[in-house]
């Protein structure tokens, strides 16, 4: 009995640690929150509706943006990700879907074929997502969106002359509230900026060689 009493001070801490470990193992994992860009389709100044049909191919992305991870940059040569926050879909897929929606809402083109849709088209639009992340500075942070668009004619005989437009669009929007929600709001605004500018440019390029629908 005396030996047991002597061992009690050593046993109690071990028992407490074991109970604590078991309670931690029983805790459910922390839920991951998912985010999507949201914005009103940009208002495009009224222009002539063109007799063209556009096929939007799935946007590609640089390899670092191929997952659903939300990336932020705090220093040169470093990229970090949020542990419990992710995009609902990979950024390139999200950008593709939103851009298709905005092209259709503009009512400037006869038809827009989304990825997976198949009907005759006059032109093909492809994109590459170059940047889609939070960039932290000493006193502020920005959402940075960079997309390169290429518009080509679907005429098989056009060759290199079939490339009608290739342009990079880069936008920065200040993050005014804690991320990742603040990042999502700012990135939504950057996406709206890109969409409005790109649709305007596509229409301007095509209007030079087409006639309005009668």
Residue 212 has pLDDT above 90, yes or no: no
Give the model's pLDDT for residue 214. 30
For the chain, the domain total comes to 1
In a domain, 23, yes or no: no
* Residue 4: band (very low, low, confident or very high) from pLDDT cuts 50, 70, 90: very low
> Is residue 28 in a domain?
no
Q: For the chain, what is the mean pLDDT?
A: 88
Mean pLDDT value of segment 168-184: 98
Cβ-count burial of 149 within 10 angstroms (0-12 exposed, 13-18 middle, 19+ buried)?
buried
pLDDT in tens, 31-75: 999 999 999 999 888 788 999 999 999 999 999 999 999 999 999
Nearest to 135 by CA among 182, 94, 90: 182
Residue 30 is predicted with a pLDDT of 86
With respect to residue 137, please indicate whether it lies within any of the assigned structural domains.
yes
Is the pLDDT reported for residue 203 higher than 60?
Answer: yes
Separation between Cα atoms, residue 168 and residue 166, nearest integer Å: 7
Q: What is the pLDDT of residue 79?
A: 96
Please state the separation of Cα 36 from the chain's center in Å: 8
Using one digit for the tens of pLDDT, what is the confidence trace for 93-129? 999 999 999 999 999 999 999 999 999 999 999 999 9
- Whether 192 maps to a domain, the answer reads yes
> What six digits make up the tokens of 55?
């096929």
Residue 4 lies in a domain: no
Residue 213 lies in a domain: no
| pTM (two decimals) | 0.83
Do the domain assignments include residue 26? no
170 belongs to a structural domain: yes
Question: 3-state class of 27 per DSSP?
Answer: coil
Check which CATH number belongs to the domain holding 132 and give it.
3.40.50.10610
**What's the domain range around 194?**
34-41+48-207
- Distance between CA 119 and CA 33 in Å, rounded? 38
Please answer whether residues 89 and 156 qualify as being in contact, where contact means their C-beta atoms are separated by less than 8 angstroms. no
């Amino acid at each position: 009995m005396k030996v047991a009493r002597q061992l009690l001070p050593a046993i109690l801490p071990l028992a407490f640690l074991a109970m604590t470990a078991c309670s931690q193992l029983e805790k459910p994992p922390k839920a991951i929150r998912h985010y999507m860009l949201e914005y009103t389709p940009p208002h495009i100044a009224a222009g002539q509706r063109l007799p063209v049909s556009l096929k939007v191919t799935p946007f590609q992305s640089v390899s670092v943006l191929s997952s659903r991870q939300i990336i932020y940059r705090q220093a040169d040569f470093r990229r970090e990700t949020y542990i419990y926050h992710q995009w609902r879909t990979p950024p390139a897929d999200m950008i593709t879907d939103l851009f298709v929606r905005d092209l259709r809402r503009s009512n400037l083109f006869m038809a827009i074929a989304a990825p997976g849709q198949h009907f005759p088209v006059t032109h093909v639009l492809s994109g590459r997502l170059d940047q889609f992340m939070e960039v932290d500075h000493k006193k502020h942070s920005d959402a940075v969106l960079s997309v390169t668009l290429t518009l080509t004619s679907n005429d098989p005989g056009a060759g290199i002359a079939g490339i009608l437009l290739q342009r990079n669009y880069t936008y920065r929007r200040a993050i005014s509230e804690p991320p990742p929600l603040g990042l999502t709001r700012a990135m939504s605004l950057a996406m709206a900026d890109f969409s409005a500018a790109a649709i305007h440019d596509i229409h301007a390029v095509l209007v030079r060689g087409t006639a309005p629908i009668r």
